[in-house]
């Protein structure tokens, strides 16, 4: 059910499907569990927000919907980032590395951030600081 | 053996060990193969350069030497990035995520870049572009 509040919540960014070819999809290599790691990076300031896993179906959903879809290894189910928390990710680009076994997805991050702890980035801790700090570096 | 040329090659950046505690090390979770994924990001402009795997020993070497050490799954051996190519990585920070099962390492990248193809970043291809482009976005 859509309420006026829901409309306001989703008005910040627009989901845009990512063009892709079968040849590009065939270039992705999945591990023995059928998964590929996905690095999620803020499209605006370069902050690395999180790391999660995709299978072929969740990658296809991500490209087709313009929202990030992952595969939860613990729950054995698909999840669309932010559907529960409201902190949705709107995809701006999907890259893959030289081996085709890692993805780099740039997003507009809605809401408070990507981490379930309330931090903007899941990488809010560093060796040597012994405590929560200001998060990973963004661009200059 | 150290020659004057070697000295010049290594003069761009300085390797600095990363302070760390046993408690921080204990916070890292390794997968069934004893590995944790490491995202390598340029410390200056935020470009994501590569993704590779570390085990406990290569993470320890990375923290202690201030250079990136990985575990090659195909070769079953440790490798210190850039020892062959000259494109060394000097560690500026080592972060870990909320689950402790991914690392984010910021580096000063020496030489041409991180990728064996000659590209600065391993993520030089994107869905929808169908060709090599200018590489992933850095900060603004």
Instruction: Tell me the pLDDT of chain A (140 aa) as tens digits.
Output: 444 444 445 558 999 999 999 999 999 999 999 999 999 999 999 999 999 999 999 999 999 999 999 999 889 999 999 998 889 999 999 999 999 999 999 999 999 999 999 999 999 999 998 544 556 666 54
B114 inside domain:
no
A102 inside domain:
yes
**Which residue does chain B place closest to A127, by CA atoms?**
B20
CA distance A119 to chain B (A): 9
| Whether A60 contacts chain B with CB within 8 A | no
Q: What is the pLDDT of residue B59?
A: 98
- CB-nearest to B97 from A20, A123, A128 is A123
Q: Is A96 within 8 Å of B123 when comparing Cβ atoms?
A: yes
**Separation of first and last alpha carbons in chain B:** 43
B59 inside domain:
yes
pLDDT band at B116 (very low <50, low <70, confident <90, very high): very high
A139 inside domain:
no
| Whether B22 contacts chain A with CB within 8 A | no
Name the A residues in 104-133 with CB < 8 Å from any B CB: 104, 106, 115-117, 119, 122-128, 130
- Contact between A77 and A100 under an 8 Å Cβ cutoff? The reply is no
- Contact between B78 and B58 under an 8 Å Cβ cutoff? The reply is yes
CA distance B120 to B47: 9
Residue B78, Cβ neighbours under 10 Å: how many?
Answer: 14
- Contact between B105 and B39 under an 8 Å Cβ cutoff? The reply is yes
Expressed as residue numbers, the domain containing B43 is 28-109
B101 inside domain:
yes
Query: Which 3 state secondary structure label does DSSP give B89?
Result: strand
Q: Check which CATH number belongs to the domain holding B69 and give it.
A: 3.10.20.810
pLDDT band at B6 (very low <50, low <70, confident <90, very high): very low
Does pLDDT of B132 surpass 60?
no
B118 inside domain:
no
CA distance A38 to chain B (A): 10
Q: What is the pLDDT of residue B11?
A: 56
B9 inside domain:
no
CA distance A96 to B126: 6
| Whether A20 contacts chain B with CB within 8 A | yes
User: How is residue A16 annotated by DSSP?
Assistant: -
CA distance B31 to B2: 39
The pTM (predicted TM-score) of the whole model is: 0.87
- Contact between A102 and A89 under an 8 Å Cβ cutoff? The reply is no
Q: What is the pLDDT of residue A3?
A: 42
- CB-nearest to A97 from B43, B50, B127 is B50
Q: What is the pLDDT of residue B3?
A: 42
| Whether A98 contacts chain B with CB within 8 A | yes
Q: What is the pLDDT of residue A11?
A: 56
Q: For residue range A59-90, what is the model confidence (pLDDT) as tens digits?
A: 999 999 999 999 998 899 999 999 988 899 99
Place of tokens 């020892």: B83
Q: Does the ipTM surpass 0.85?
A: yes
Task: Please report residues of A whose CB lies closer than 8 A to that of B126.
Answer: 93-96
Closest CA to A47 of A127, A107, A126, A88: A107
Task: Please report residues of A whose CB lies closer than 8 A to that of B47.
Answer: 46
Copy the structure tokens of residue B63.
Answer: 């923290």
The total of structural domains in chain B comes to 1
Task: Please report residues of B whose CB lies closer than 8 A to that of A106.
Answer: 136-137
Q: What is the pLDDT of residue B12?
A: 83
Residue B14, Cβ neighbours under 10 Å: how many?
Answer: 9
CA distance A77 to A72: 5
CA distance B45 to A47: 10
A58 inside domain:
yes
Q: What is the pLDDT of residue A6?
A: 45
Q: What average pLDDT score do residues B2-9 get? A: 44
Does pLDDT of B7 surpass 80?
no
């Amino acid at each position: 059910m859509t309420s006026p509040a829901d409309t306001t919540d989703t008005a910040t960014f627009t989901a845009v499907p990512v063009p892709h070819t079968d040849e590009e999809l065939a270039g992705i290599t999945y591990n023995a569990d059928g998964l590929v790691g996905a690095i999620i990076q803020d499209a605006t300031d370069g902050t690395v927000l999180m790391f999660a896993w995709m299978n072929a179906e969740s990658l296809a959903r991500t490209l087709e919907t313009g929202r990030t879809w992952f595969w939860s290894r613990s729950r054995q189910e698909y999840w669309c980032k932010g559907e529960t928390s409201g902190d949705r990710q709107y995809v701006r680009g999907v890259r893959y590395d030289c081996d085709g076994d890692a993805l780099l997805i740039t997003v507009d991050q809605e809401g408070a951030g990507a981490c379930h702890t309330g931090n903007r980035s899941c990488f809010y801790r560093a060796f040597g600081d012994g405590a929560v700090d200001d998060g990973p570096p963004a661009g200059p």
